[in-house]
């Protein structure tokens, strides 16, 4: 898996891991991976099951403190809203994501999925869709009127003052050192548009692009 970027849609999964059940109470469970006996204990509260990737192979009603259960991540399709810094993650950052078809709201803003795909739960995944995939985040382009724009994932274009706007197509990559595939990327870029990329993303994610304007909490 690569580092990801806002707007990505991923299909995630995670292999099974044995875990020692430390506490059990109704729909709540605390557990510790057997492979990390000196590591942290994880907890899933009764209201948290919609906001975590992990699931148990066993029926929760059959699991008790002291048991060894098996945790895994089932096939889960998510969209990324943000890559957020966090000192407690192994990589120093994590993905802020929601399941496709599930729009975040103000009330739900602090209940999204937050995880480090490089270090947590043997995560593996497939990138299903990336808006403007032919561009690098932060890449410079020049529009047909000679104006310079910076592409910011997932859909935004910033002018020289850092304001959002819409460049005039066709666009040219403003590379100081052109690469062999720049011609192909330029053709791909000019074969799409802001409207098309947003519409395609909305169809695949099941939510509106306006979710990227939601002010998220610090993670």
Q: What is the pLDDT of residue 127?
A: 96
pTM comes to 0.87
Q: Read off the tokens for 156.
A: 């935004």
Provide the pairing of β-strand 55-56 with 68-85. Answer: antiparallel
pLDDT at 48: 78
Q: Cα dihedral sign for 183, 193, 140, 201?
A: negative
pLDDT score of 114: 79
- From first to last of its 219 residues, what are the pLDDT tens digits of the chain? 678 999 999 999 998 999 999 999 888 899 999 988 888 888 888 777 877 888 999 998 899 999 999 999 999 999 999 887 766 666 667 888 999 998 886 555 555 787 878 767 678 899 999 999 999 999 999 999 999 999 999 999 999 999 999 999 999 998 766 677 889 999 999 999 999 999 999 999 999 999 998 776 665
CB of 30 within 8 A of CB of 23?
yes
Binning the chain into helix, strand and coil, the percentages to the nearest 5 are: 15, 35, 50
pLDDT of residue 105: 63
Q: How many CB atoms lie within 10 A of CB 3?
A: 12
31 burial class (0-12, 13-18, 19+ CB within 10 angstroms)? Answer: buried
Report yes or no: 71 and 16 within 8 Å, Cβ to Cβ: yes
Q: Is 44 in contact with 53 (CB distance < 8 Å)?
A: no
pLDDT (0 to 100) of residue 186: 94
Domain boundaries of the chain, sorted by first residue = 9-129, 140-191
For 92, the token pair is: 């120093």
């Amino acid at each position: 898996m690569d580092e990801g970027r806002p707007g990505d849609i991923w299909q995630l999964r995670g292999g099974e891991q044995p875990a020692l059940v430390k506490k059990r109470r109704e729909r709540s469970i605390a557990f510790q991976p057997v492979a990390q006996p000196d590591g942290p204990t994880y907890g899933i509260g009764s209201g948290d099951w919609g906001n975590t990737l992990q699931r148990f192979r066993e029926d929760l009603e059959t699991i008790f403190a002291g048991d060894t259960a098996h945790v895994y991540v089932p096939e889960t399709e998510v969209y990324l809203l943000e890559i957020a810094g966090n000192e407690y993650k192994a990589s120093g950052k994590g993905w802020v994501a929601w399941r496709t078809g599930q729009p975040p709201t103000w009330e739900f803003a602090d209940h999204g999925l937050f995880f480090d795909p490089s270090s947590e739960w043997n995560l593996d995944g497939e990138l299903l869709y990336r808006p403007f995939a032919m561009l690098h985040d932060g890449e410079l382009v020049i529009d047909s009127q000679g104006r310079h724009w910076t592409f910011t994932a997932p859909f935004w274009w910033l002018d020289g003052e850092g304001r959002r706007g819409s460049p005039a197509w066709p666009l040219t990559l403003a590379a100081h050192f052109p690469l062999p595939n720049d011609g192909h990327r330029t053709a791909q870029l000019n074969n799409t548009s802001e409207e098309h990329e947003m519409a395609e993303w909305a169809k695949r994610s099941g939510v509106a692009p306006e979710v990227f304007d939601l002010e998220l909490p610090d993670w």
